[in-house]
Amino acid sequence: MNNEFSSTQEYVASEELMASVNIAIALKKPLLIKGEPGTGKTMLAEAVAKALSKKLIIWNIKSTTKAQDGLYVYDTIQRLYDGQFGEEGVDDIARYIKLGKLGEAFDSDEQVVLLIDEIDKADLEFPNDLLWELDQMEFYINETKRTVKAKHRPIVIITSNAEKELPDAFLRRCIFHYIEFPSRELMEEIVKVHHPNVEQNLLQNAMDVFYAIRGIRDIRKKPSTSELIDWVNALQIGGISADRIKEALPFIGVVVKKDEDLELAKHETY
């Protein structure tokens, strides 16, 4: 089977990015992906899983997520209920241990791709709490005295929006890649992957406006790749002719989301 990752039909990856993925797989280290919002960090994991035909397990991190949640949860409440109603098997704690996403990835019978999405959203200490587990690919369940060890080392992809700095000890163990904002050529390729039949003129004009807006100095929120893709879609569905894009800025709300930015965009692109 092909064990190298390359661009797929749905996902256009730069050569650097492809190299990072392959190195991370070869060195058996987690791959840490950083980049502006909307540069396709999350989609990368999907593309990798698809290209290598492996199962994808997504662990979405929220501000309240704790490292323990990813390993296992001991459902004490369920056990209490069962105990009160005299259900069968209350003695067996293992019945109330629910593996988290990381646990699931370790316990899987085949190698999986594990995506830890937006790790920077969690508490500052969160990454440090996972060091041992990601290094050794195993953890210990206190309640049942069982060690869960990865049968096949999962391919771990971690994304971060750089909202918080990650601890050094954690960074040392990762392969790092920063997704740059796509250049015009790459962008054209990306849009065409999503909208293969887009009219060249329309795309060029839309990209002119898009990069002009990104270039405005005081812009509050820079529009991202996914917003351009949505906009091109809107323009196509709305049947807007290419030459009207620059003067009327139709459906510009898809790209620009803030009132102040809208004013600026209208003002600057004239």
Partner 1 sequence: MFIKFFETLREKGLNVTLGEWLDLQKALEMGLIESSLTQFYYVARMILVKSETDYDKFDMAFEECFKATQRETEVGAEMLRWLDKSDMLELAHEEARDHLNKMEEAQIDKEDVEQKFKDRLKDQDSEHNGGSFWIGTMGKTSFGNMGGNVGGVRVGGATGYQSAFSVVGARRFRDFRDDRVLDNRQFQLAFRKLRQFSSKLDIPETELDINSTVDKTCNNGGCLQIVMQKPRKNAVKLLLLMDSGGTMIPFSALLNDLFQAVHKSNHYKDVKTYYFHNCIYSHVYKTPECDYGDWVETEWMFRNLDSDYKVIIVGDAAMAPEELWSKDGNYRGPNDGLTGYEWLSLIKKKYKKVVWLNPKMAPGHAPWREAETAIKEMFPMFKLTVDGLNRAMTKLMTNK
Are the CB atoms for 179 and 43 separated by under 8 Å?
A: no
User: Taking the complex as a whole, how short is the minimal distance between the CB of residue 241 and partner 1, in angstroms?
Assistant: 36
Residue 5: which of 22, 27, 23 has the closest Cα? 22
User: Taking the complex as a whole, how short is the minimal distance between the CB of residue 66 and partner 1, in angstroms?
Assistant: 10
Cα 68 to Cα 217: distance, rounded to the nearest angstrom: 43
Laid out side by side, the sheet with 175-179 consists of: 55-60, 112-117, 155-160, 31-35, 175-179
Binding footprint of partner 1 on the chain (CB under 8 A): 15-16, 18-20, 22-24, 26-27, 29, 32, 34, 76-77, 79-80, 83-84, 162-164, 168, 171-172, 174-178, 180
User: Which residue has tokens 């965009």?
Assistant: 265
Closest CB to partner 1 among residues 19, 212:
19
Cα 248 to Cα 203: distance, rounded to the nearest angstrom: 15
Closest CB to partner 1 among residues 10, 165:
165
Closest CB to partner 1 among residues 172, 267:
172
Closest CB to partner 1 among residues 174, 206:
174
Q: Which tokens belong to 146?
A: 């069982």
User: Taking the complex as a whole, how short is the minimal distance between the CB of residue 176 and partner 1, in angstroms?
Assistant: 5
User: Taking the complex as a whole, how short is the minimal distance between the CB of residue 20 and partner 1, in angstroms?
Assistant: 5
Closest CB to partner 1 among residues 89, 244:
89
Q: What share of the chain is helix, strand, coil (3-state, %, to 5)?
A: 45, 15, 40
Cα dihedral value 170, 120, 137, 106, nearest 10: -170
User: Taking the complex as a whole, how short is the minimal distance between the CB of residue 109 and partner 1, in angstroms?
Assistant: 27
* Sequence-separated contacts (24+) of 243-247 with Cβ below 8 Å: 243/201, 243/205, 245/202, 245/205, 245/206, 245/209, 246/205, 246/208, 246/209
User: Taking the complex as a whole, how short is the minimal distance between the CB of residue 242 and partner 1, in angstroms?
Assistant: 31
User: Which residue has tokens 């950083």?
Assistant: 34
User: Taking the complex as a whole, how short is the minimal distance between the CB of residue 19 and partner 1, in angstroms?
Assistant: 5
Residue 110, amino acid: E
Closest CB to partner 1 among residues 167, 250:
167
Closest CB to partner 1 among residues 203, 261:
261
